[in-house]
Amino acid sequence: MWAAGKADAGVTLLEALVVIAVVALVAALIAPNIGASLSLLSLRQSASVMQADLRTARATAMRTNTKVVVTPLARGRGYDWIGGTRRLPGDIALKMPGPVVFMPDGSMLPAQIALNSGTRKVAIAFNTTTGAITTGGQ
């Protein structure tokens, strides 16, 4: 049975402060890494969405036997395509010198696309022989 008057019946203030200090130290070490991880996750997600949109645009060009154009928005904030306007999150910029044009036979005009967030960059590559659209990051 526990007695309220015993010396070992609880936690001292010093012990509680030490635990709080250790938890605060661990949180201070982890917090910056979480922010960087979330930024990288947002960049990769945006690149995956754009990759899927480009694949859809190519498939639509082949299915409808018409040319499909994906055009960058001003200041790299997103792009217009057959699905409407896709805006990117505020910390991500699109580097796309001109429109991407998919021909009805599945071919395309050469294009270079990259998404940037701070110092990180994800390039979207096109294989004009196979029609594959892939992403890679730094």
Return the structure tokens found at 15. 């012990």
Name the residue type at position 44. Answer: R
Tell me the domains of the chain and their CATH numbers.
Answer: 13-137 (3.55.40.10)
Residue 32 has pLDDT above 80, yes or no: no
Q: Whole-angstrom Cα distance, residue 97 to residue 65?
A: 26
Is pTM, for the whole model, over 0.95?
no
Tokens coding 19: 């635990």
Cα gap 102→109, rounded to integer Å: 7
Give the per-residue pLDDT at 6: 64
Mean pLDDT value of segment 77-88: 90
Question: How many other C-beta atoms can be found within 10 angstroms of the C-beta atom of residue 73?
Answer: 15
